[in-house]
Amino acid sequence: CGDAVVWKPSEKTPLTALACEAIFNRAVKRFGADAPEGLLQVLIGDRAVGEVLVDHPKVPLVSATGSTRMGREVGPRLAKRFARAVLELGGNNAGIVCPSADLDMALRAIAFGAMGTAGQRCTTLRRLFVHESVYDALLPRLKKAYESVSVGNPLETSALVGPLIDKAAFDNMQKAL
């Protein structure tokens, strides 16, 4: 059935983590007796909880998503005890629109990539490279998409952008503007 997982999600998203845990537990029941209890354990907590996992000698692999600062702190600690690491750090994702691009598809991908989840995920589109041959056709459509983006309650299917997660996210957005 694979290796057991101990997951310490962001302290900002505990309910999402618990919902994922419930989905996992429901799915794993399909394996019956072949799947032992407790394959997934969710640890809700702050940075200190994560540090215990990073330093624990019985945790052979740590996968972490976060800032490059976090990676600079975690990486050497894992290396010191020869633990394996999968670190996804400081996302700065780009989109490329080539001359042969389907501009309708590109527009949808750009809009969701840049604005979906209010730009708060590590894979948010932050840079866009557009070939000069399609630039003039794409730019007005892109402006229109940004002007018409639906902001609102994320439980409503019509809303593409919901609220920022906390004041720190709001402050960072204000600095970016």
Q: What is the spatial distance between Cα 174 and Cα 177, in angstroms, rounded to a whole number?
A: 5
* 122 catalytically annotated: yes
Q: Is the dihedral of CA 67, 87, 53, 69 positive or negative?
A: negative
Q: What is the spatial distance between Cα 146 and Cα 129, in angstroms, rounded to a whole number?
A: 17
Q: Which of 20, 51, 88, 156 is catalytic?
A: 88
* 51 catalytically annotated: no
Angle ∠(22,122,21) on CA atoms, nearest 5: 5
Q: Which of 11, 73, 122, 156 is catalytic?
A: 122
Catalytic center residues: 88, 122
